[in-house]
Amino acid sequence: MICPTCATHIPDGSLRCPACHASVGITMAMPAIQGRWCPSCGAGVGWHDEVCPSCGFPLEREWGAPADPSVAAPAPSEAGGPAEEQVDETADTRAIPRIESAIPPEDDPTSKVAALEVMPHTSRFVLAAVSSMLFVCGLALAITHPWNPDANSIRATKEKDTSMAGFPGTVETLSGQDSDGSGVIAVPSGDDATLAQLVEAYGKLGRYAERADQSEELFGEVAFGSDLDGRTTGKREAEALAIDVSNLIASLDEVDVTSGLYAEERDNLLTLGNWLRNRVDALSAAWKAAVDAQDPAAQREEIMAILRRDDDASGKNAYKAYFDENYEAWEPKHKDAE
C-alpha cells in the first residue's frame, strides 16, 4: 500500500508510515463508483444532463446511458453494434483523477508494525541513561562536597578587637631578643656592632697567617722534589688562601665606622690584611713556578728568589715581620664613646 501522506510504499497492514510516521493502519480503500463527470471542471453530472450544472460546459450524451438515473449503465456488449465502440482512455478529458478516500477504522492490535511503533526510540533510551547518570553524579557530589556559600568570601568572619585598652600592658621579657635574664632587653648599638665585625675579622687574620706559615713550611719540603701532585696541591692551597685574604680585606672596607669610634681599629686591620696578602701573593707565585718547572731542583735559586723577593736585610719576609710585630698590639677592644 501507499502512504496517503508522503506516497511511500509501505507494507500492507502497517499502522504507521516508517518514513513520515503518519497513521495509516486505520485507513481502508473505497472502490471508485461508476458515474459521469464534467470534462471541464470534473464535477459529477447526471447521465441525461446536456450542460454541466457546475460550470455550464455543454455535455454530449453518453452512449448506453441508462434511461433511469437510478439504474446503472450497462456494460458494453462484447459482439457487434455500437457497443463495440470503446472510449479512448488516453484522450484528454480534463477529468480530475479520483483519489481513494481513507476512513480511519479501529487499530489492528495484531499488526507487528504497531508493536514496533509503540516502543520508544533509541535516542530516548540514550537521553534517559545520560540524565540518570548526571543525576546520580550530582547527588554524590552534593553529599560528599556540601556547598559552602562563604568558601570564597574575603570578609572577616569574626569581629576584630580594635580596642587599645591595656596596650601595651606589662612586658617582662621578650622571646627572640637578646636579654641578660634580668628582664632588661639589651639592644646593641651601632658602635658595638662595628666592634663585633672588627673582632671577627681580627680572628680571621690570625688564622690566615697560620695557614701562610704552614704553606711556606710545606713549600720547603715538596717544592723542589719529584712529587708533582704535592706541588700542585700546595699551589692550590696557596691560591685559595690568597682569595680568602682578599675577601676579608673587602669586607673590612664595608665596615661602618662613620661614628669614628673604631675608625683607627678598622684601618689597623686593613694594614695587617695588606701585609698578609703581599706575603701570600709571593708564596703563591713561588708555588706556581715550582709546578711549572721541568726540574724544580735545577731551578731552585730562581724559584727561591720569587719567594724571598720581599725579604729584609736579615733574610726574613718583611711583610711577615710587620704582621707579627703589630698583630697583638692592634687587637680591637671595646671603647666607651666620649
Q: Find, among 241, 238, 268, 266, the residue nearest to 330 by Cα.
A: 268
The 3-class SS string of 131-188 reads HHHHHHHHHHHHHHCCCCCCCCCCCCCCCCCCCCCCCCCCCCCCCCCCECCCCCECCC
Point out the residues of the chain with pLDDT beneath 50.
27, 64, 67, 69, 71-106, 165-171
Question: What was the pLDDT predicted at 322?
Answer: 95
Question: What was the pLDDT predicted at 124?
Answer: 80
Question: What was the pLDDT predicted at 328?
Answer: 95
Angle (deg, nearest 10), helices 228-253 and 263-292 = 160
Question: What was the pLDDT predicted at 152?
Answer: 66
> What pTM, to 2 d.p., does this model score?
0.47
DSSP annotation string for 30-58: -PPPP-EE-TTT--EE-TT-SB-TTT--B
Give the integer Cα–Cα distance in Å for 33 and 273.
136
- Domain positions in the chain are 1-29+101-140, 190-326
Cβ count near 261 (within 10 Å): 19
Instruction: Reduce the DSSP state of residue 74 to 3 states and report it.
Output: coil
Residue with cell 441508462: 66
